Amino acid sequence: MRKALGLLVAVLLLVGLAATGVLAESKVLNVWIMEPGNREAITKYFNDVNGDFEKSHPGVKVEIQYIPWLSGQQKFITSIAGGVAPDVAEMGSTWNGQFADMGALEPMDKYVDQWGYRDDFSPGLVESATLDGKLYGAPWYAGARGLIYRKDWFKEAGLEAPRTWDEFLQAAKVLTKDTDKDGKIDRYGFALQGNGRHTWLPLIWQNGGEIAVRKDGKWVSAIDQPAAVEALKWFTELLTRYKVTPEASVTWGALEARQAFALGKAAMFIEGSWGLEPILKSNPDLAGKIGVAMMPRGKKDGSSFAGGSNLVIFRQSKNKELAAEYVKMLLQPKNLIDFAREVKFFPGRVSTYDTYKNDPVLKVFADQMKVARSYPATPAWGAVEKSVVTNMIQEMLSGKISVEEGAKKYAARMNEIFNY
Amino acid sequence: MPYPKVGFRRIDWFPYGLLAPALVVVTGLMLYPLLNTVWLSFYKYSLLDILSQEKTWIWFGNYLAIFKDPFFWQVLGNTALFTAACVIVTMLAGFAVAMLLNVKFPGRAVLGVAVLLPWVIPRVAASIVWKWIFNDQYGILNYFLVLLGFDQFKEFSWLTTQMRAFTSILIVVVWQSFPFVAFSLLAGFQSISSEIYEAAEVDGASWWQKLTGITLPLLKNLLLILFILETVWDFKIFDQVYVMTEGGPAQSTYIMGIYAWMEAFGNMMMGKASAIAVIMFAILALVTWLYIRVLSREEEVA
């Protein structure tokens, strides 16, 4: 009996020691990454960098979770409400202001100043992460959309890549064709995206307009101003007047437009460099036939939207110092360039841009980045994107409302959201 | 003594003890969220203030704003029409399939299992599959329609106008809900004694007369219950619409569920979204009450 008891105590002691040892040393760092297009390569990337991180931080386990872009915002909100926000997350640049304003994010100035390269961060992304002078995210990567077109068809028709809105429309008209003569258009000049706000909003900038301006400390919509209305009208008429894009494109997003391009049903569409690989994957015959160009210029310029992501640390995190270490590790030039290459974006540190000067494709998109801008950095931007922009575009495209009236109606809606 | 006396004084606590787990679950999972929603609907509460919990009591402000908004009435109208269409088509389809399965023929068991499948597949997964099927560029629906000689369906876009989008969603909703109706009715059919039909046949009753004179009257209660359930389910549909159109294009397929979701997670207006949810709850409670009244009155007469 005594012997058995002694054994039991010993076993319990061992188990207890092991348990406390494990508890004391093992820490899980939860990291949320937005669902990438090429999941395998990204998974491999994180296996490598996390392996290094875990080696240099014994007892730490990094858990990556992939979050779909479509439901990402909602997922962040519910996790914050439930007190289970991740430690580190990739945050879409247009959401950063909103979550910072909510008080969900940890200010990063302290860490960034320690790292000592604040000025190296891409200015567009810094702007998207800044609220009342504090930085709530570390710029990770960004990319700008440009024009992707069928080089072979352009050559056949004796056309050059369009540089202005007029040239763009001309090319779109010429390339919209009924190739098999059955009385139905089967090749369109352009694949429009009625559900692709980032292809629409920069048009306003290109024409010299603004989406919203800050007046007396308040945001005021400017989409009903003449320059903006003219830009929206021009793009809407690609479908309603010139019919150089399929009827179904009212509901298309980037995926559908890309698919149309890959299937040889459209000659041009707007997307970033990240779209090229999926196109070739679904239709390898297009190798060598795809051209890239900067956005056609309106009255002012050929600007685009600098879309990207920052790395944020959540205030609910219990491992903030460790989280900052992890962010720092991801922002090292080598890790940064490797990741940017995989997602076909550009790193959040400007000093890395030289990498692309000899690449004929990426150079175009890098140049596009130089004339890329950010949306108004207001916490209400998420709501504006969700309930103003796409609805307005689709109502205009489907003829439910004229462009002029639509702009007026949705400018009012936008102001209502800014003032809520 | 049928059970041991556990409590004190003269109150017998044992039955309450048995009920407690169920009561806790019902209160925690149903009553609390419901009351919380009602309570929130009286506040101006932005999701941006979720951490600070700042909110302003505005009495019926949310309700007034909603009732004044013509868009709400448009959505309510859409929802009512869409619900009615879904319920009617589902009931007809379910009834037809139940009649078919009620006949003995080889392969009936296999067909029975096959019919049940759509009901078993998770709604979101099924909706995603249907979205592919309806795709204008590479969907198999257009592919087969063109193969069958309907050339006008080449690259036909199923989701671009209100009518087309609602029709497509209706197909998905009906496809997912008719098996439940079919199997409930099949059980009902088999509960009717075959002697009644035999007697009717002896009297020379036609197929139609047997249906309207025997089957329908005897299954009236079952049919009413199915109508209530289908109405409630179809009125608060969310998944199928969210996956297939997200309420678009241009908000034309907005139904109440999407409307409440958009106000909550799109516009961040939690108070207003709660008010919409309460309105939905009130409408459904009213519909259910009406159905039940009709049902119980019928029983009194009988």
pLDDT digits (tens, 9 = 90+) for A210-223: 999 888 878 899 99
Indicate if the alpha-carbon torsion angle A398, A399, A402, A408 is positive or negative: negative
pLDDT for A410 equals 95
pLDDT for A235 equals 96
CB of A394 within 8 Å of a chain B CB? The answer is yes
pLDDT in tens, A122-177: 877 888 898 888 999 999 999 889 999 999 999 999 999 999 999 999 999 999 99
pLDDT for A131 equals 83
Distance CA A316, CA A310 (A): 18
Question: For testing the chain B interface, which of A80, A181, A251, A258 should be mutated: the one with the most B CBs within 10 Å?
Answer: A251
Q: Please give the domain boundaries of chain A with CATH numbers for all domains.
A: 2-144+308-372 (3.40.190.10), 146-305+376-418 (3.40.190.10)
pLDDT for A18 equals 52
Asked if residue A145 lies in contact with residue A253, where contact means CB atoms within 8 angstroms, the answer is: no
pLDDT classification of B4: cutoffs 50, 70, 90? low
Of B41-55, B157-171, B185-199, B275-289, which range is least confident? B41-55
Q: What is the mean pLDDT of residues A353-377?
A: 84
Q: What is the mean pLDDT of residues B242-268?
A: 89
Task: Indicate the residue of B50, B160, B267 with minimum beta-carbon distance to A251.
Answer: B160
Task: Indicate the residue of A265, A391, A420 with minimum beta-carbon distance to B251.
Answer: A391
pLDDT for A363 equals 87
**Burial call A212-226: b when 16+ CB within 10 Å, e when fewer:** beeeeeebbbbbbbe
CB of A102 within 8 Å of a chain B CB? The answer is yes
Assess whether pLDDT exceeds 90 at residue A91.
yes
pLDDT for B201 equals 86
pLDDT for A9 equals 58
Assess whether pLDDT exceeds 80 at residue A377.
no
CB within 8 Å: B248 and A398: no
From the CB of residue A366, how many other CB atoms can be counted at a distance below 10 Å?
19
pLDDT in tens, A332-359: 999 999 999 888 788 989 888 888 888 8
The H-assigned helical ranges of chain B are 14-26, 32-40, 61-68, 70-102, 108-120, 123-134, 140-147, 162-191, 194-202, 207-210, 216-218, 220-235, 239-244, 256-261, 270-301
Distance CA A352, CA B148 (A): 56
% residues pLDDT > 90 (chain A): 61
Distance CA A337, CA A321 (A): 24
pLDDT classification of A15: cutoffs 50, 70, 90? low
Chain A nearest-CA distance from B165, in A, is 11
Torsion of CA B101, B105, B108, B111, to 10 degrees: -80
CB of B61 within 8 Å of a chain A CB? The answer is no
DSSP B247: T
Q: What is the mean pLDDT of residues A73-99?
A: 90
pLDDT for B217 equals 87
Assess whether pLDDT exceeds 50 at residue A21.
no
Range picked from A81-85, B90-94, B109-113, B204-208 for highest mean pLDDT = B90-94
Distance CA A379, CA A25 (A): 39
% residues pLDDT > 70 (chain B): 95
pLDDT in tens, A275-330: 898 899 999 999 999 999 999 999 999 999 988 999 999 999 999 999 999 999 99
Pairing of strands A346-347, A130-131: unpaired
Options 3.40.47.10, 3.20.20.70, 2.30.40.10, 1.10.3720.10; CATH for B63-301 is 1.10.3720.10
Assess whether pLDDT exceeds 80 at residue B120.
yes
CB within 8 Å: A248 and B48: no
Q: What is the mean pLDDT of residues A358-362?
A: 88
CB within 8 Å: A394 and B250: yes
- Listed in order, strand segments (DSSP E) in A151-267 are 212-215, 218-221
Distance CA B241, CA B253 (A): 8
Of A240 and B46, the structure prediction assigns the larger pLDDT to A240
**In chain A, which residues have their Cβ closer than 8 Å to the Cβ of B157?**
246-248, 250-251
pLDDT for A369 equals 82
CB within 8 Å: A246 and B157: yes
End-to-end CA distance of chain B: 40
Assess whether pLDDT exceeds 70 at residue B291.
yes
Chain B nearest-CA distance from A122, in A, is 27
Per-domain boundaries in chain B: 63-301
Q: What is the mean pLDDT of residues B133-160?
A: 88
Q: What is the mean pLDDT of residues A397-404?
A: 93
Cα separation values, B280 from B22, B75, B265, Å: 26, 12, 18
CB within 8 Å: B50 and A81: yes
Assess whether pLDDT exceeds 90 at residue A197.
yes
pLDDT for A189 equals 96
Question: Phi-psi region for residue B251, left (φ > 0), alpha (ψ -120 to 50) or beta?
Answer: left
CB within 8 Å: A251 and B245: yes
CB within 8 Å: B262 and A102: no
Assess whether pLDDT exceeds 70 at residue A22.
no
